[in-house]
């Protein structure tokens, strides 16, 4: 059930390719070994003028990935997952690996509902 919310800081004049959300969902689904329809991606864009880093050079256009999963992997497995997902997102979003940032939400079990039913497993 991984759900990825991906936000790309756009370069001036850049747009999100039409098929990018589907490409990210398919690639992430393979990475997570999800059943068909089991990995969801919400893709958004943030114009460069709406993003800043204090005292940093111009020209940084990161990608932020927030992940919701029923259960979080153990630390070693999470690091492997982070490395693979970072590379995948960097490649598909055409960004350096150093500019892909991943955030895990707390486990979804018992606190998230789909269609009025709490995630239970």
CATH classification at residue 46? 3.30.429.10
pLDDT of residue 57: 79
Give me the number of domains the chain comprises. 1
Q: Give the mean pLDDT of 21-29.
A: 98
Number of C-alpha atoms within 13 angstroms, CB side, residue 103?
A: 8
What is the CB neighbour count within 10 angstroms for residue 76?
A: 8
Full domain range(s) for residue 75: 3-118
Q: pLDDT tens for residues 42-89?
A: 999 999 999 999 988 788 899 999 999 999 999 999 999 999 999 999
pLDDT of residue 31: 97
pTM (2 d.p.): 0.95
Across the chain, mean pLDDT equals 96
């Amino acid at each position: 059930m991984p759900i990825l919310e991906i936000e790309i800081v756009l370069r001036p004049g850049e747009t999100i390719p039409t098929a990018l959300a589907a490409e990210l969902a398919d690639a992430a689904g393979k990475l997570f070994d999800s059943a068909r329809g089991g990995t969801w991606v919400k893709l958004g864009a943030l114009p460069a003028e709406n993003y800043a880093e204090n005292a940093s050079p111009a020209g940084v256009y990161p990608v932020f990935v927030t992940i919701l999963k029923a259960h979080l992997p153990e630390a070693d497995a999470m690091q492997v997952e982070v490395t693979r997902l970072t590379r995948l997102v960097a490649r598909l979003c055409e960004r350096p690996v150093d500019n892909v940032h991943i955030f895990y939400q707390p486990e979804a079990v018992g606190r998230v509902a789909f269609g009025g039913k709490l995630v239970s497993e």
